[in-house]
Amino acid sequence: MRFMIIVKATAESEKKGALPDPQLMADMSKFNEELIKAGVVLAMDGLQPSCNGARVKFSGKSRTVVDGPFTETKELVAGFWIWQLKSIAEAIEWVKRCPNPHHGESEIEIRQVFEMEDFAPLLSEEEIQYKVSRRAELPNQTSNI
């Protein structure tokens, strides 16, 4: 199963032009190395402060663009990983080993990603029949199915 590991922002990380502290970066890259060696990481990235971002608000059919920065700092995302693991307990254990991503107080959130088997059958019987009938028109594929 996959998890999105979300590093929350802080006032410091939200400052305009803010770059991560070199020491924090070094600690974090050591941790990343461990994750990669353990075959756990699928993806990761850090995000720029929200002043470089924007939001699109939806209301029925109307769309309103709101430019950053956004105020609810602690709820903003500063970075993320996608990990593939056996259980949320394992994800928690890895997160506990993560260096504090900011100076002082900070928070990392763990969320499970939906997998195919979380959804009810995606194809109707009709769609399946269609696919089967179409197969007759397609060339044989002996590999790479």
Partner 1 sequence: MAATDHHCTIEAVWRIEFARVIASLTRFTRDVGLAEDLAQEAFLAALEQWPQSGVPDNPGAWLTATGKRRAIDLFRHNAVARCKHEELARELDVLEQASPDLDAELDNAISDDLLRLVFIACHPVLPADSRVALTLRLLGGLTTEEVARAFLTPEPTIAQRIVRAKRTLADKRIPFEVPCGPELVIRLSSVLEVIYLIFNEGYSATSGADLMRPSLCEDALRLGRILAELMITESEVHGLVALMEIQASRTRARVTATGEAVLLLEQNRSQWDQLLIRRGLLAIQRAHRINAGRGTYLLQAEIAACHACAHTPADTDWHRIVALYTELAQVHPSPVIELNRAVAVSMADGPEAGLALVDSLTGEPSLARYHLLPSVRADLLCKLGRQSEARVEFERAAAITRNTRERDFFLARAASFEISTASLQER
Alpha-carbon distance values, 22 to 2, 26, 62, 107 (Å): 29, 6, 43, 20
Alpha-carbon distance values, 99 to 7, 22, 91, 95 (Å): 11, 13, 14, 8
Q: Does 131 participate in binding partner 1 (rule CB under 8 A)?
A: yes
Pick the piece of the chain touching partner 1 (CB under 8 A) from 12-20, 52-60, 62-70, 121-129.
121-129
With CA atoms as reference, report the closest residue to 97 among 17, 34, 48: 34
Q: Does 126 participate in binding partner 1 (rule CB under 8 A)?
A: no
DSSP state of 104: S
Secondary structure E strands in 60-131: 62-67, 77-84, 108-112
Nearer to partner 1, 40 or 77 (CB): 40
The answer to whether the beta carbons of residues 3 and 114 sit under 8 Å apart is no
If DSSP codes are grouped into helix, strand and coil, which group holds residue 24?
A: helix
Please state the closest distance from residue 102 (CB atom) to partner 1, in A: 21
Pick the piece of the chain touching partner 1 (CB under 8 A) from 21-29, 31-39, 50-58, 104-112.
31-39
Alpha-carbon distance values, 57 to 64, 65, 66, 69 (Å): 5, 6, 7, 15
Pick the piece of the chain touching partner 1 (CB under 8 A) from 4-12, 20-28, 69-77, 86-94.
86-94
Q: Does 118 participate in binding partner 1 (rule CB under 8 A)?
A: no
Nearer to partner 1, 56 or 132 (CB): 132
Pick the piece of the chain touching partner 1 (CB under 8 A) from 14-22, 47-55, 62-70, 113-121.
113-121
**Which residues contact partner 1 (rule: CB under 8 A)?**
36-40, 42-43, 82, 84, 86-87, 89-90, 92-94, 116-117, 121-123, 125, 127-128, 131-132, 134-136, 138-145
